[in-house]
Amino acid sequence: MKSDIINLINNIKNVQNGNVKIINELINIILHINYNINAFFNLKKKYVIGFLWSMVKTINIIEQQKLFKEKIITLLKYFFIFLSNKVIQKNLLESSYHPVDIKQFIFSILNIKLNENEITKIDSIKIHDLVDFIKYLQSYPYK
């Protein structure tokens, strides 16, 4: 998972060069996290925070280019909020010697675009929505 996160971060930084691997990498990481969330949170903080940063960037690209249906984009945003909440609960930002991680985390949260309609939808997401979401990601046609 660590190498997938590093690849996603690097590819996000180079997205202006037309790199299209980011969606596949994001989906792959989400499926890994869904399978074993503890392995994700056992990574070094910089990988967890780096993933959240790259996840927001990827969601914004997907939304801007209308690559997924609105419902899937909303569920991606929900998953981001879920992971961000876990980061806060696990006190992963408790570090005086890594202020970059904290700043990057805050900027990640500020970069997620949520309108009132999406907030209402996210607030009403049910477990079956998440099961369907994972099924959708598992059946996503990799290029």
Q: Which residues contact 58 (CB under 8 A, 6 or more apart)?
A: 8, 12, 22, 23, 26
Token representation of residue 52: 């959240």
Separation of CA 139 from chain center:
18
The Cα 70–Cα 67 span in angstroms is: 9
The pTM (predicted TM-score) of the whole model is 0.78
Per-residue confidence of the chain (143 residues) as pLDDT tens digits? 899 999 998 888 877 555 567 888 999 999 999 889 889 988 988 898 889 989 999 999 888 888 888 888 888 998 998 888 888 777 766 655 555 566 677 767 777 777 777 777 777 776 666 777 777 777 776 54
Given a contact cutoff of 8 angstroms between Cβ atoms, the answer to whether 105 and 49 are in contact is yes
> Angle at Cα 98 formed by Cα 95 and Cα 101, nearest 5°?
95
Count of alpha carbons within 13 Å of 14, Cβ hemisphere only? 11
